[in-house]
Structure 1
Amino acid sequence: MTSSTITLDALDTPAAVIDLPRMQHNIARMQQRMNALGVTFRPHVKTTKCLDVVRAQVAAGAQGITVSTLKEAEAFFAAGIIDILYAVGIVAAKLPRAMALYRQGCHLKLVVDNVEAAQAVVDHYRTHGECSEVWIEVDTDGHRSGITPEQDALLEVGRILQDGGIKVGGVMTHAGSSYDLHDQAALAALAEQERAGCVRAAQRLREAGIPCTAVSVGSTPTALAAEHLEGVTEVRAGVYVFFDLVMHNVGVCKIDEIALSVLTTVIGHQADKGWVIVDAGWMAMSRDRGTAKQLHDFGYGQPCALDGTLFDGLTLIGANQEHGILAASDGSVRDDLATRFPAGTKLRILPNHACATGAQFPEYHAVSSRGGVEVWGRFHGW
C-alpha cells in the first residue's frame, strides 16, 4: 500500500477504483450476517487478489481465506495468513508446489472430487511422507465440480484418502447456479439445498467411519439468502466485498453498494450515432457480459459521475480493446451527449463482474470518504 496526494480526477485512465466506504460497508454486512448465523467466515480472495483488502476482511472477523490459485496461496501465506483453503481440485503435477507451502507451516487444505485425484494425493504421501489435509468437493446444484451427496464415489474417495493415511478435513460446496437467480425465495431455497446437501455428504462420511469436521458452503447470493445454517461450520464468499452489476441483478446488493469501478476519460464522439467514446474498452472492463442473460442488460457497464451518481439511461454498449462506446441504453440517438460529455471528461463505469474487471489491472486506487487516494497492489497469474 502506498499513499498519494493525487485526487481521483487527476488519475491516469483507465484505472480501477475502490470506494472504501462502500467496501467497508460490504465487509461489515457479510461478517455481521455470518456472526448472526453462528458460522465462521472464510472469504474467497480471488475477487481482489489484494493484501490490503484481505487485511480489512480479517480485521472484521474473517477466519482463514479461500484461494483459487497456488500463487494466491503463496502470496497470502508470505504475508502471514496461515489457514488457506485451495478450492480448486488438486492434480498430481501441482502437489510438489502445494507441499512446499505445507513444509513452511501453511495450514493448506486441498480439494479433490474424484478417485484419481485422491489416489494422487495418497501416492505423493507414500513417496514423500508429506500431505496437508484434504477436503472433498460436493456438488449440490449441478453447477460445475464435485460429487453429489448420495453418490458411491463420495465414500470411495473418502476411503482412499483415509486408508492412505490422509486426513479428510471436511466437505465443501459452491452453489454457483445462484448467479442465475433473481428472486429472494428462490435464493433462499437454493441456499437451503446447498446447506442440506453438504451436511448430508458429511453425515454419510461420518456414518462410514470417516471423520469429517468441516462443512463449508458458499456463494455470495446464498450466503446472504440463507435462513439458517444448521450443520455448517463455515461459509465462503468473494464478490460481496465489491459487488457488481450481476449481483445487483441477482438482487443481493443495491447499485450504491458496488465498490469497484473503472475510471475512464472521454476521448471522442460519433455524434451522428449518439456515441461517446471513452478509453475503457474490454482490456479495462473485461469481456464479461454476465448481465446479458439477466433481466437488465448493462452492456459492458453502467456509467456514473465521479461522485457515484448514476447516468440513468446510458450504458457502455460496446467495447473494443481500448475503446468503449457509451450511448443511450434504449438504442436511441441522443444528440446532447457530445455537449454533456466533452472530450477530457472523466467518469466511472460500474462493472458486470468485479472479479473479471479487477483482473485487468495491476493495482487499485482506493478512495476514502475524504477523497484521499491510496494505491493498493494486486497480483496476477497462477
Structure 2
Amino acid sequence: MRTITQLITPACLIHQEKLKHNAKRVFDICEQQQIPLRPHVKTLKSIEAASIYAPVPMPITVSTLAEAAYFADAGYTDILYAVTLTPNKLAAVDALLAKGIGLTVVVDSIAAVNTLSQQAVQMKHIVSVAIEIDSDGHRAGIKPDSPALIEVASIIASSHSLTFAGLMTHAGASYTAFTVERQCEIAESERDAVLYAADRLQTLGMECNMRSVGSTPTVLAPISHAGLTELRAGVYATFDCVMAGLNLCTYEDIAMSVLTSIIGFHSNNSLLVDAGWMALSRDNGTHSHPDDCGYGLVCNKQGELLSGWFVDSANQEHGIIRHKENIDPRTIFSFGDMLRILPIHACATAAQYSHYYVTSDDETIETTWNRVNGW
C-alpha cells in the first residue's frame, strides 16, 4: 500500500470517509422528507465514487452524454441528461436508447423542441423529453408563466417520436445565497416555479410525472419539498470552498484536495508549488465571498487547514501561495514539503484529472478511482 508521500504531484485526493459522511447527510434529508434523490454525478464522474453517493439502481443526473454512456455501461438505467439537447447529439441518444436505457433529455425553448421534433422522426426509439423551467432568471429554462411553456409541451405531446416526461429546474442563484433565510427563499421559489408550471399543464391534461428540482444549497435548505417527485444535487458529495463560504459545510467536510509539492520561494513572501491552474482550475468562485479563498485554501499534507494560507494566483504549472498577513513562508516551510489545496469549485478541479487517489486516514492510498472525461 502506497503512502501519500510516494505520489507524484500534483495529485487529486478523495477522503472516502468524508465522502460517505456527506452522502449520508443528503440521504437522511431525502429519507426524512420521503422524496427520491437523483444525484448529479458530474462532479466526480466516477463509477466507484458513485457507488457511495448514487449506488445502482438509483436514478442519476449527468451533464454529458459521455457520462451517460459510462454510467449506462455500469448498470444505471434511469438517467437525466440535464443540458438542452442539440441536433448533433441525437445519434448518441439513439444509441443509448437502443441499449434499453431510460434516458430523459431536456429542452428549454420552442426552437429546441421544434428541432428535436423534426429530427426525432429519423430515430429508431421514442425520446423522453423534460422541459427545463427558469426558476430564478439565472440560467436556462422557460419561465413558469410563459405562453411558451404550453406551446413546447404541446409540441412534445403531439409528436409520435417524443414523450413528455415532465419538468425540471436548477436554481443557480442559490450559489450566491449566504444565509439560511436566503437559501430557503430560493429553494421555495425553485419548488413553487415547478409546481406552478405543472399545475398549468395539468389543467390541459398534460401529466408531469417528473417534477424535479435541485442544487446543493436548495436541497440542504430546511423547507418542505412536498409536491415534487425528486431532488437533484451533486457537489455535496465532496463539497468545496464555495459551499463552505455559503456555510453549507465546514472546510473540514471537504472530501477533495490536491496534493502538491513546494518547488521554490519568492522574495515577496510567497512560495511556489507544482499545482498551477492545470491542477487546480482557474475557478475563483469565492472572489465575491466575505472570505476570498483565491484559487484554493492550503492544508498540510495530513489535510489540516493552515490558517491564513491560500493560493493567491496560478500559472499553468505553478501555484503561488501567500499568507493573508504577509508572513514569510521560509520561516515555516521547506523546499520539497508537501501541501494539500482545498478546491474552490470541486467540479472544475476534478475535471483536471483522469483518476483520484483514495484515502481514509490521510496517510495511505487505499485504491484509485477512474473517471470519464469529454462530452
Distance 1:20 1:267 in 2: 28
Counterpart-to-counterpart distance in 1, 2:45 and 2:66: 10
Deviation string 1:237-262 (CA, Å, 9 cap, x unpaired) is 01101100000111111111000000
Counterpart in the other structure of 1:47: 43
Q: Percent identity?
A: 42
Q: Which residue of 2 aligns with 1:355?
A: 347
1:120 deviation in Å? 2.4
Structure 2 residue 237 is the aligned partner of structure 1 residue 245: no
Q: After TM superposition, give the deviation of residue 211 of structure 1 in Å.
A: 1.8
Residue 179 of structure 1: how far off its partner (Å) = 0.5
Q: Name the counterpart of 1:101.
A: 96
- Alignment counterpart, residue 11 of structure 1, candidates 7, 11, 16: 7
Residue aligning to 1:376: 369
Q: Which amino acid aligns with 2:30?
A: M
Question: Structure 2 matches for 1:65-214, cutoff 5 A?
Answer: 65-165=60-160, 166-214=162-210
Q: Which letter maps to 2:324?
A: S
SS in 1 for 2:228: coil
- In structure 2, C-alpha distance between the alignment counterparts of 1:105 and 1:96, rounded to whole Å: 15
TM-score if structure 2 supplies the norm length? 0.97
Aligned residues: 373
The Cα shift of 1:339 comes to 3.5
**1:148 and 1:29, CA in 2 relative to 1: closer, same or farther beyond 3 A?**
same
Does the 8 Å contact 2:129/2:165 carry over to 1? Answer: yes
Q: Give the secondary-structure state (helix, strand or coil) at the position aligned to 1:167.
A: strand
Letter in 2 for 1:184: V
Superposed CA deviations along residues 106-127 of structure 1, whole A, max 9, x for unmatched, are 1000100111221222223333
Which residue identity lines up with residue 368 of structure 2 in the other structure? V
Aligned partners of 1:70, 1:370: CA distance in 2, in Å? 34
Moved over 4 A (4+): none
Cα deviation for residue 9 of structure 1 reads: 1.6
> Structure 1 length normalisation: TM-score?
0.95
Q: Which amino acid aligns with 1:375?
A: T
Asked if the contact 1:284/1:357 (under 8 Å) is kept, the reply is: yes
3-state SS, counterpart of residue 212 of structure 1: coil
Q: Secondary structure at the match of 1:40?
A: coil
**Deviations 1:281-311 (Å, cap 9, x if unpaired)?**
1110000000011111001110011222111
Cα contact 2:195–2:227 (8 A) shared by 1: yes
Give the Å deviation of 1:97: 1.2
Measure, in 1, the Cα distance between the counterparts of 2:50 and 2:127. Answer: 23
The alpha-carbon deviation at position 351 of structure 1 amounts to: 0.8
Task: Kindly state the Cα deviation for residue 62 of structure 1 after the two structures are TM-superposed.
Answer: 7.4
CA contact (8 A) 2:285 2:344 kept: yes
Q: Residue type matched to 2:145 in 1?
A: E
State the shift of 1:42 in Å.
0.6
Quick one: distance in 1 between partners of 2:214 and 2:48? 23
Q: Which AA in structure 2 matches 1:343?
A: F
- In the alignment, structure 2 segments of 5+ residues that lack a partner are none
Matches within 5 A, 1:202-281: 202-270=198-266, 272-281=267-276
Whole-angstrom CA distance in 1 between matches of 2:30 and 2:11: 32
Q: Name whichever of 138-147 and 94-103 sits farther off.
A: 94-103
SS at structure 1 position matched to 2:75 = coil
Which SS does the other structure have where 1:243 is aligned?
Answer: coil
The residue aligned with 2:29 is: 33
Q: How does 1:308-327 map to 2 (within 5 A)?
A: 308-327=303-322
The aligned counterpart of 2:282 is 287
